[in-house]
Structure 1
Amino acid sequence: MSQSSVGPAPWWRRLVPGLGALLGYRRSWLRGDVLAGVTVAAYLVPQVMAYAGVAGLPPVAGLWAILPALALYALLGSSRLLSVGPESTTALMTATVVGPLAAGDPARYATLAATLAIAVGLLCVLAWAARLGFVADLLSRPVLIGYLAGVALIMIVDQLPKLTGVRTTGSAFFPQLWSFVRHLARVHVATVLFAVVALGVLFTVAHFFRAVPGPLLVVVFGTAAVSLFDLDDR
């Protein structure tokens, strides 16, 4: 009887665990991975475009930001099953921090947002090196629920002008909400109809056709409608 011992993993596997998974890839995984990749991409494309807008950046910035992030996670990630993507809270906090500093300059806004992302990434690496992950466990569930509920309300109010065509002032929650209520008479009917149809398609597809990527469908049809009917000029 022989006994084989498994030695420690090579040093590079600890630094780039994703590369180790790729080198040991099995052909039987391919079909499921392709299906999962197409499904995630169908939701990720409109998601990153929307969250870029929430962060105060052009929608294309979300597409350019997610591509290198996904490629790097394929090498640095330790899980084959984890789906990565943008977060609404991160986008909203970016807009809150960068907006007052940019002073309305789009180029400065983009530079500050990129600098903030790099700084936060470096802090996360330092926190990982110092093993500070336990700090997240100190946040109680009620605090997290309240925080997420507040973020949801802020995002809703932030999107109301885009759904109705009503121009608002102020960047804080209550001033922006009050501005929206005061100017509600200026609602743009065509914009509201477009938003209602888009939301209707989203909910209908999610309820009756769960296998169909509703967000991607809305983005494709919405883009086609804008181009076909010259909605940018209206």
Structure 2
Amino acid sequence: MNWITRFLPGLPTFLHYQRADFRFDCVAGLSVAAVALPVGIAYAEIAGVPAVYGIYSAFIPLLIYAFFGSSRQLIVGPDAATCLMVASALAPLASGNPQRYMELMISITLITGVFNIIFGLCRFGFMANFLSHPILVGYLNGVALIVLVGQLPKLFGYKAEAGDFFGKLLEFSQKIDTIHLPTLILGIVAIILLFALKRWASQLPAALIVAVLSIITVEVFQLHAHGVAVLGTVPSGFPTLHLPSFDPERFKILVQHAASIALISFTSGVLTAKSFASRNRYSIDANQEMIAFGACNIVSGLMQGFPVTGADSRTAVNSAMGGRTRLAGIIAAGAMILFLLFFTSPLASLPNAALAAIIIVSSIGLFDFPSLRELYAASRRELSFSLVTTAAVLYFDVLPAVFFAILLTLLWMLLAASRPHDAVLGRVPGISGYHNIKDFPNAVTFPGLLLYRFDSSILFFNVEYFKERILKEIAASPTPLEWVVVDAAPINAIDITALHHLRDLIEELNGRGITLRFARVKQSLWTFFSSSWVASQFQLKKRVRYNTLTSAVEAFKQRKQENNSE
């Protein structure tokens, strides 16, 4: 049983379900369905597939995640970023062939799921931290802008021809005089109503209300007869199992795109899961979340859905409406199944402008203004990284920008690690230990001795900075130095390149009559230092290191007294 629950952490919820939770889960599940249904239809538009596939993707993964996921509140489903990535990947490969597009969509969903499961089984859950928060904010902000601009033709009622972001903006400026006024009015009213409901009646399913009112408006005023484009017939019935045809020519390209989708969808999804788990005082397993997302995507693909992730807005609805267990997701899925079986006919009159309004409002919500303000106040460098990532998404498109974002994250990490914090240490009267003399102007240093702390491992990309800083502090010393003692407590590792540079530094300091010593060296690092090759390279003596800074200072004082007595 323990083995089963390890891979199906949701199973105990249903085996030991508390009846007192049912009322809360039922209300939350129905509320989630009311939001997820119109949003799923809208996101199918972004993904480039008929509306019914958005419904499939909205409810099928919920049934799977309830058993595989580690979060009690998370609602999985389509989101703007993954849908846009799918469309960006498949449109060039399908060459305008709808049947081929559907085959490719199922294939990329299955491959994404396989990636998720492999990463989860290999315990790659740390990948959730691989994209820094500013970089992820910048990426999703770029996605939000692309999605918003992509809906302008449906909102204004003109035919879209341009493909890229800037081309769509130019096309909008050129076709502004060809707008279809009834379509625009309907779309603007829908946007205003969506914002009003979110502002003054946030507990109501705004997207569902707008969709229903739009359908009624179209039918009452016969707007489809006046040029207002509508969704058209949505087939009813449960989806059937479908295995895609294998296309070896496109398989390699699909694998590359699926890896990007897996990374972005997992990163954003697990952040949502962690956020709501923290609010409800429990923890999630990132590796299990990867496996859960993989299972959701594989089943979604087999049932003709597209890739999914943790949906923050629908999860927020679940939490706000009091959802306590995974049963809320199953209830939401059940409600959508009933709709799909018996109530799809009214969707034929759903205006495209209303769907555009739902997507536009969602994309505005996706654009993270608060984080940009936070970055502006806290770190202009991190703000610049975020803005550059947004620009890359807009210029290169969403899929190439994934690799740009990863490269930018690595660059940011290297920049931070190549110039770590350091300090010259001294004794502070009334405070035990040794502290940064810049933080304590009254700190006392020792003539002839430099106590130096480097707050990082010493590796190939920062060893030159380490040498530079020590030599600069030696030059700035008010008295001639005899010893330099490095506080090695923050140093976790030293690579071979750094060892060669350290050897050169020791030789240079010896030539100046300065001795280099280490204090508080970690045992694992000292074991490496003590190996025969390293010891011979450094000509290590027994008293190269000291267990504490105090013992190093005392050894220096004793050595100085011995020299003076001579």
2:294 match = none
Structure 1 match to 2:174: 182
Is residue 48 of structure 2 the alignment partner of residue 56 of structure 1? yes
Task: Choose from 63, 68, 75 the match for 1:71.
Answer: 63
Q: Identify unmatched segments of 5+ residues in structure 2.
A: 228-566
Higher helix fraction (1 or 2): 1
Q: 1:153 corresponds to which residue?
A: 145
How far apart in 2 are the matches of 1:150 and 1:204?
A: 25
* 1:118-197 paired onto structure 2 within 5 Å: 118-197=110-189
Could you say which structure has the larger radius of gyration? 2
| Cross-structure match for 1:91 | 83
Alpha-carbon distance in 2 for matches of 1:136, 1:20: 26
What corresponds to 1:5 in structure 2? none
Which whole-Å deviations, capped at 9, do the CAs of 1:148-196 have from their partners, x for residues lacking one? 1110110011011111012222221111221121111111101000001
Q: Shift in Å at residue 66 of structure 1?
A: 2.2
Distance 1:224 1:205, change over 3 A: same
Partner of 1:25: 17
Q: Is the 8 A contact 1:18 1:75 kept in 2?
A: yes
Matching residue's letter, 1:57? V
Cα gap change, 1:107 to 1:224, in 2 (>3 Å)? farther
Cα deviations by residue, 1:95-134 (Å, 9 ceiling, x for unpaired): 1001111111222212211111111011011111111121
1:96-115 matches, within 5 Å, as 96-115=88-107
1:205 match: 197
State the one-letter code of the partner of 1:141.
H
CA–CA distance in structure 1, aligned partners of residues 101 and 215 of structure 2? 26
Aligned equivalent of 1:230: 222
Q: Is the 8 A contact 1:168 1:183 kept in 2?
A: no
Q: Report if the CA contact (8 A) 2:43-2:79 is conserved.
A: yes
Please say if residues 62 and 75 of structure 2, whose CA atoms lie closer than 8 Å, have aligned partners that are also in contact. no
Instruction: State whether residues 18 and 78 of structure 1, in contact with CA within 8 Å, keep that contact through their aligned partners in structure 2.
Output: yes
For 1:107 and 1:228, locate their aligned partners in 2 and report how far apart those are by CA, in whole Å: 35
- Counterpart-to-counterpart distance in 2, 1:176 and 1:200: 24
77-86 or 160-169, which deviates more:
77-86
What letter is aligned with 2:102?
A
In the TM superposition, residue 11 of structure 1 has moved relative to its aligned partner by 1.4
Partner of 1:112: helix, strand, or coil?
helix
Deviation string for 1:179-231 (max 9, x for gaps)? 12111111110100000111111111112222221111011111222333333
Distance 1:98 1:127 in 2: 23
For residues 138 and 77 of structure 1, do their structure 2 counterparts lie closer, same or farther at Cα, with a shift above 3 Å needed? closer
SS at match of 1:170: coil
**CA spacing shift, 1:100–1:132, aligned 2, 3 Å:** same
Residue 104 of structure 1 aligns to a residue in which SS?
Answer: coil
Higher relative contact order at CA 8 Å, sep ≥6: structure 1 or structure 2?
Answer: 2
Give distance in 1, aligned partners of 2:203 and 2:59.
Answer: 25
Q: 1:115 to 1:228 in 2, by over 3 A?
A: farther
Instruction: Write the distance in 2 (CA, Å) between the matches of 1:224 and 1:103.
Output: 37
- Which one has the bigger strand percentage? 2
Aligned length: 226
Corresponding position of 1:216: 208
Q: Secondary structure at the match of 1:17?
A: coil
Separation in 2, partners of 1:14, 1:123: 20
* TM-score, normalised via structure 2 length: 0.39
Where in structure 1 are there 5+ consecutive unaligned residues? 1-8
Q: Which deviates more from structure 2 when the two are superposed, residues 70-79 or residues 219-228? A: 219-228
Greater shift in the superposed pair: 223-232 or 191-200: 223-232
Asked if structure 2 preserves the Cα contact closer than 8 Å seen for 1:52 and 1:91, the reply is yes
Indicate the RMSD between aligned Cα atoms, in angstroms. Answer: 1.4
Aligned residue identity for 2:191:
L
**Whole-Å Cα distance in 2 between the matches of residues 195 and 110 of structure 1?**
29
